[in-house]
Amino acid sequence: MWTCIGLDPGGTTGWCVLRIHEIAMTSPQYRILENMAGWAVGQINGSINHQIDKLVDLVEAWPEAEVVCEDFLLRQLRGGRELLDPVRITAPLAWWLERGGRRAWDVEEGEDWKPRELHLQQPALAMTTITDERLKAFGVLHFTNRQPHARDAMRHALTFARRRKSGMVME
């Protein structure tokens, strides 16, 4: 199975876990959506630290999953601490993944560990690639209607899966 975790960080963080049969990720004869073995979506509320802890738990539960996250670009000239919540969530998660899911003090010199990457994806890319109409056609929109951040996380996961399959994302 190929597994992807999609994230939409912010004041409320959306998450999505997709599990797709590997053949659909390697063969043009098989479609991604017809070969989804499972998926789950949700949202995390609470303090930044609480959200980071929950995301670490989620990513730790899927050690082979690729992780994709909405990138943050400042496009508004408004103030407030919550404007930077996506950065405050993404930065420590990326730091943790780069250390293979270990804290700096847990890594001993010479120890073998595999870093993981936090792939960043532009919001507009996911919004135009996986529209609400497409989610409805896939039969999954109704599962995320009351959770807009979970829906955006699903968009990122599906967009990333398409990009990975087409070779637009390098390993």
- pLDDT value for 76: 62
Query: What backbone phi and psi angles, to 5 degrees, belong to 31?
Result: -90, 145
Q: CA-to-CA distance for 167 and 97, rounded, in angstroms?
A: 22
Measured from the Cβ of residue 114, the count of other Cβ atoms closer than 10 Å reads 8
Instruction: Per-residue pLDDT tens, the chain, 171 aa: give them.
Output: 999 999 999 889 999 999 999 999 999 999 998 899 999 999 999 999 999 999 999 999 999 999 999 987 666 666 666 667 888 899 999 988 987 776 655 666 666 677 889 999 988 888 788 878 888 887 777 777 789 999 999 999 999 999 999 888 766
Residue of 74, 78, 50 lying closest to 123 (CA atoms): 74
3-state SS of 83-116? HHHHHHHHHHHHHHHHCCCCCHHHCCCCCCCCCC
Q: Which residues of 147-160 are buried (b: 16+ CB within 10 A; e: fewer)?
A: bebbbbbbbbbbbb
Q: Which CATH number applies to 2-165? A: 3.30.420.10
Burial class (CB within 10 angstroms; exposed 0-12, middle 13-18, buried 19+) of 2: buried
Taking each helix axis from N to C end, the angle separating 85-98 and 48-61, rounded to the nearest 10 degrees, works out to 40
Q: What is the pTM of this model?
A: 0.87
